[in-house]
A = this chain, B = another copy of it.
C-alpha cells in the first residue's frame, strides 16, 4: 500500500472518529445507535466493522483520541520561559477551562461516567492517561513557583480539589442543562473563570 492511500485511510478513520465523538457527546453512548452513526458518517452500518471491531472499540477510540494531547498544552506552558510563574498559572487555568469546558476532551467526562460500570477499562484509562498527567503537569507549575518563592507551598490533593472541582462541575452543568435554559446566564464561563482564578492566586499567596 502506498503512502497516499495510507493517509487517505487514516483520514477516513479520523473523520469517523470525529463524527462519532460528536454524536456520542450529543446523545450519550447507549443513546447513539450504529444506525445513527452510519447515517451521520454516510456509510452503511456494516462498513464500520472494517474500521472498528465493535461499538465499544469505536467508543474507546473516540475517548482516547479525545483527550490525547490535551495534556501537552500544560507542559508547553510550563516550559515557556517568556512567562512569569504567575502568568504561567493564569495561562494554565485558562487552558484548563478551555480543554475541560469547551473542548471534547473534558466534555467526555459524563460519557465516561455513563459507561464506567460496564467498561471499567475506559474509566481506568481516562484516569491513568489523562487526569493523572494533567494533575502532575499543574503540580509542576506550582512547584516551580514555590521553588522560586512566588507561591506558598501547597497540599496538592486540596489544591487540585480547588482547581479542578469548579471547572469539571461547570462542564458537567453546561452539558446537563444545555437544552433547558439560558446557559450563559446560569453558568457564565468567563466570569466564573475570572473569579476562580483570583481565588486560586490568593491561595497561592500572590
Using a CB–CB cutoff of 8 Å, the interface residues on chain A facing chain B are 26-28, 30-31, 109-110, 112-118, 120, 123-124, 126-127, 155, 157-158, 161-162, 164-170, 172, 175-181, 186, 188, 191-192, 195-196, 199, 202-203
Central interface residue in A123, A161, A162, A202, by most chain B CB within 10 Å: A161
Contact status A123-B165, CB under 8 Å: no
Contact status B117-A26, CB under 8 Å: yes
Contact status A172-B172, CB under 8 Å: yes
Given contacts A123-B179, A123-B180, contact A195 B161 (CB under 8 A): yes
- Alpha-carbon gap, A130 to B192, bound state (A): 21
Contact status B199-A118, CB under 8 Å: no
- Alpha-carbon gap, A176 to B164, bound state (A): 15
Q: Which residues of B contact A109 (CB under 8 A)?
A: 172, 176
- Alpha-carbon gap, A155 to B116, bound state (A): 36
A-B contact pairs, 6 of them (CB 8 A): A113-B175, A116-B180, A123-B177, A158-B195, A165-B167, A169-B172
- Alpha-carbon gap, A178 to B191, bound state (A): 33
List 11 additional contacts besides A158-B196, A162-B199, A164-B169; criterion CB under 8 Å: A27-B117, A28-B117, A112-B176, A113-B172, A114-B114, A116-B177, A116-B180, A157-B191, A158-B192, A161-B196, A165-B165
Quick one: closest B residue to A26, CB to CB? B117
Q: Return the contact of A170 from the options B27, B161, B199 (Cβ within 8 A).
A: B161
Contact status B127-A162, CB under 8 Å: no
- Alpha-carbon gap, A110 to B176, bound state (A): 9
| Least CB distance, A157 to chain B, in whole angstroms | 6
- Alpha-carbon gap, A132 to B134, bound state (A): 32
Central interface residue in A168, A169, A192, A199, by most chain B CB within 10 Å: A169
Contact status B116-A176, CB under 8 Å: yes
Given contacts A168-B172, A191-B157, contact A196 B162 (CB under 8 A): yes
Q: Which residues of B contact A161 (CB under 8 A)?
A: 166, 169-170, 192, 195-196
